[in-house]
Amino acid sequence: MTLLLDLALVAWLLALALHIARVRDDRNAIVAFIGFGLLLGLGWTRLASLDVALTEAAIGGGVTGVLLLRAEAHLRPGKASGASVSHGGKTLAAIACAMVAAGLALAVLAFPSPAPTLAPAAATALPSTGLGNPVTAVLLAYRALDTLLEKVVLILALIGVWSLAPDHLWGGAPSLRPDVVPEPLAYLAQTLPPFGVLIAVYMFWVGADAPGGTFQGGTVLAAMWLLVMLARLRPAPETRRRSVRLVLIGGPTLFLAIGFLGFAMAGGFLAYPESIAKPLIVGIEAALTLSIAATLGLLVAGPAQTAPGR
């Protein structure tokens, strides 16, 4: 029975991927892509990787989809009809993709069995972090440097987006400007956020011991914020505002500060003293969740479109 389900899932994923590659209408393709992200999340749950599944659904399907939809909406008015990739270009891309896929298949089929894994080592070291979820331990302890740098990458992406604003608008507020706010959207934006915030807080909190964590929680928070901005209940903030910037950098700054304190307290950069490792990690995660939510929300909101007020 489960085999049948898995086969159906794989067939569905393949069909959807083909549909996305072939469909002519961009918006249609993006909507299918969002669906693809959700299905892929389902696939990850079948592989017992709940953390990956949650992230795929939130980032792969959710945030990426919204970004693509907004880009498509911006491009639509000036789009020249029929100015898409040439036939030769598509063939070339298809051949390159097929070659990479064949190489991947070759490599994956040649994996040693049982596959070498660090999972036992990650579990063995878990007690000294005070955490229960090995994925969180990898992200915040064993490979904290990767996570810290990733957060900086996220901020850099936002700096890049902001730099696209014209000089006189730089520092001003972005605008999500829907032409009309449909009734259901306004209703959703008024009723959904309390639940969304609750789910986000739960995801972040439970991440220490079970699947969940900062990125997933932050994404849900960002989605709630975007909903409020899209329904025009609250305007997007000016990007030069001190408070906005402090929330943005709060997570990475706390992370870095505790990392440096590790020199004094635990004998090294990004080392935690064993007795207070868990509270430190949860504290970092809390600040990171807020920072991620702000970064993702502002990434979707885009560059400033109104001049900064005096």
Partner 1 sequence: MTPLAAAPAHVATPGGFLLVLAVMLPVVAVLAMLALGPRQTARIALTTLATGLGVAIAIVVELLRTGAALTYVVGGWQPPLGLALRADGLSVAMLAMTALVVAAIGFFAHAQHGLEPTTRHGRAPTTFWILLMAVWSALNAIFVGEDLFNLYVALELLTFAAVPLVCLDGRAETVAAALRYLMFALLGSLLYLLGTALLYGSFGTLDIGLLSEASAEGPGFSVALALMIAGLLAKAALFPLHLWLPPAHAGAPAAASAVLSALVIKAPFFLILRLILDVAPPQAAAYAGQVLAILGAASILFCSVMALKQARLKLMIAYSTVAQIGYLFIVFPLAAGSETLPPWGTIAWTGGALQLVSHALAKAAMFLAAGVIAEAFGHDRISDLGGFGRALPISAAAFGLAGLSLMGIPPSGGFVAKCLLLTAAVIGGHPWLAATILAGGLLAGGYVFRVVDRALATPAIPLAPRKPIPRRLELAALVLALAAVLLGLVPLQPFGFLQLGRPDSLTVIAP
Contacts with partner 1 by CB under 8 A lie at 100, 103-104, 106-108, 110-112, 115-118, 120-122, 124-125, 141-146, 148-150, 152-153, 155-157, 159-160, 162-167, 170-171, 240, 242, 245-246, 248-249, 252-253, 256, 259-260, 262-263, 266-272
Q: Minimum Å distance from CB 146 to partner 1?
A: 5
The C-alpha atoms of residue 137 and residue 125 are separated, in whole angstroms, by 9
Q: Minimum Å distance from CB 168 to partner 1?
A: 9
Residues in contact with 207: Cβ distance below 8 Å, sequence separation at least 6, in sequence order: 133, 136, 213, 214, 216, 217, 285
Q: Minimum Å distance from CB 184 to partner 1?
A: 35
CB nearer to partner 1: pick between 19 and 240: 240
Q: Minimum Å distance from CB 121 to partner 1?
A: 5
The C-alpha atoms of residue 38 and residue 240 are separated, in whole angstroms, by 35
The residue type of 208 is A
The C-alpha atoms of residue 92 and residue 15 are separated, in whole angstroms, by 21
Q: Minimum Å distance from CB 193 to partner 1?
A: 27
CB nearer to partner 1: pick between 222 and 248: 248
Whether residue 280 contacts residue 257, with contact meaning beta carbons closer than 8 Å, is answered with: no
Q: Minimum Å distance from CB 222 to partner 1?
A: 18
CB nearer to partner 1: pick between 41 and 172: 172
Q: Which of 40, 16, 39, 38 is nearest to 29 (CA)?
A: 16
CB nearer to partner 1: pick between 165 and 173: 165
CB nearer to partner 1: pick between 124 and 191: 124
Alpha helices in the chain (DSSP H): 2-22, 26-46, 50-55, 64-75, 87-109, 119-124, 134-137, 144-162, 183-206, 214-230, 242-265, 277-301
CB nearer to partner 1: pick between 152 and 198: 152
